[in-house]
């Protein structure tokens, strides 16, 4: 592909870049002729995409199958209330083209999987990982290693964030450390909650995502010193920072893409796992209520979620179900619910592993399904 030169409009638009002696016309021209695939357009993806678009990266790809939810708006600054329920990737493209219409933006409204990963990243110079779960994080890393792509990584949780540059091509032609050199194995399932369960300070993805975008720009232009072989850590609560050294691990071997759900201990639905956690539909719960049957209803969400909308259940947050196990009946049907059904299924598994419960039922679809199918007056979030 031939190199595109800067136009007079480009020179005017990116004048503040071009004025920087170390950056100049050469750096801006590299950005114009570069391509970045951003996986996820949420908390991290929002600032990454905004700043890469504003900086003039010529080609952007956005991988995101999700839709905008009201709870996203606390930190995902690409979106507004008018976007709720709409495709994140399509909405992001529209917003970015409004910021900079001179870009080539491709939307991939799909999950990033072992089947499509290598095909999705092959046409991009750099991959920016904006994911929020371990299976996809390991998949992004392994795909980048196999395809010889730089992986600009970041993650956030509560007040803490981290940034690094993985699989960077060094001057001698070898590659720098990758994510598996730092974390060969994922943490045990359930040990590290996701942002929905553990929360995240709204401004944190803006801070960390901007740093991630900065690293992408440094990689693309050759300006500055990227975070290669280093992991930057920020605690926003205290504003303490650390930079740790990351070294290559000779034992790290990545030969093919694998089943990352299984690798991270997250078993896909099967006949066996479905039998472990029994389910009840929202229609069944409605029938229980109407029949005035003796049953116990437990909500394992957080107190603030309960205050937004509830079914009149007894509140026992997921983090407390084991310590408050004596509150859970064994002599009648117990229906456990959360927002969507994921946390309540986890609660049931924990309870069944701890004690001999055979009367626990997960409310399929959670309070969202109840609001959608039974009580339209419930406030969803």
Contacts of 91 (CB under 8 A, 6+ apart): 68, 78, 79, 83
The torsion of the CA quartet 234, 159, 247, 212, rounded to 10 degrees, works out to -70
Give the Cβ contact number of residue 77 at 10 Å. 18
Inter-residue contact 277 to 362 (CB < 8 Å): yes
Q: Where in 313-369 does DSSP place strands (E)?
A: 314-315, 333-337, 360-363
The dihedral built from the CA positions of residue 57, 35, 157 and 304, taken in this order, carries a sign that is positive
Q: Of these residues, 144, 214, 264, 338, which one is catalytic?
A: 338
Q: Is residue 144 among the annotated active site residues?
A: no
Inter-residue contact 261 to 267 (CB < 8 Å): yes
CA angle in degrees (0–180, nearest 5) for 19-24-27: 140
Structure tokens at 87: 């495709």
Give the Cβ contact number of residue 59 at 10 Å. 17
Q: Of these residues, 144, 195, 214, 264, which one is catalytic?
A: 195
Give the residues across from 107 on adjacent strands.
62
Distance CA 10, CA 27 (A): 12
Give the residues across from 277 on adjacent strands.
none
Write the DSSP symbol of residue 327.
G
Q: Is residue 195 among the annotated active site residues?
A: yes
The catalytic site residues sit at 195, 338
């Amino acid at each position: 592909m031939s190199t595109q030169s800067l136009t007079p409009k480009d020179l005017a638009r990116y004048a503040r870049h071009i004025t920087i002696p170390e950056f100049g016309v050469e750096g801006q021209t590299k950005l114009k002729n570069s391509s970045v695939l951003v996986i996820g357009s949420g908390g991290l993806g929002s600032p990454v995409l905004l700043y890469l678009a504003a900086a003039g990266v010529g080609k952007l790809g956005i991988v995101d199958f999700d839709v905008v939810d009201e709870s996203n708006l606390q930190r995902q600054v690409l979106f507004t209330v008018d976007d709720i329920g709409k495709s994140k990737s399509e909405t992001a493209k529209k917003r970015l083209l409004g910021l900079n219409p001179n870009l080539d933006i491709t939307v991939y409204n799909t999950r990033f999987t072992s089947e499509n990963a290598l095909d999705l990243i092959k046409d991009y110079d750099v991959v920016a990982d904006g994911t929020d779960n371990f299976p996809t994080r390991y998949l992004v890393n392994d795909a980048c290693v196999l395809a010889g792509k730089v992986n600009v990584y970041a993650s956030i949780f509560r007040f803490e964030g981290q940034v690094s540059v993985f699989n960077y091509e060094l001057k001698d032609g070898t590659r720098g450390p990758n994510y598996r050199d730092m974390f060969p194995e994922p943490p045990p399932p359930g040990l590290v909650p996701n942002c929905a369960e553990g929360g995240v300070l709204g401004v944190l993805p803006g801070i960390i995502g901007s740093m991630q975008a900065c690293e992408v720009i440094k990689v693309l232009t050759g300006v500055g010193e990227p975070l290669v072989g280093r992991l930057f850590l920020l605690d926003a609560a205290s504003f303490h920072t650390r930079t740790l050294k990351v070294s290559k691990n000779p034992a790290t071997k990545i030969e093919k893409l694998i089943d990352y759900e299984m690798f991270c201990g997250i078993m896909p639905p099967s006949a066996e796992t479905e039998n472990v956690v029994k389910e009840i539909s929202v229609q069944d719960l409605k029938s229980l209520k109407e029949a005035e049957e003796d049953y116990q209803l437990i909500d394992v969400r957080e107190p603030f979620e309960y205050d937004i909308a509830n079914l009149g259940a007894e509140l026992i947050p997921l983090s407390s179900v084991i310590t408050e196990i004596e509150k859970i009946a064994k002599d009648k049907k117990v229906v456990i619910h959360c927002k969507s059904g994921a946390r309540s299924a986890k609660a049931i598994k924990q309870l069944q592993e701890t004690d001999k419960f055979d009367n626990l039922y997960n409310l399929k679809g959670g309070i969202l399904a109840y609001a959608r199918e039974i009580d339209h007056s419930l406030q969803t979030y």
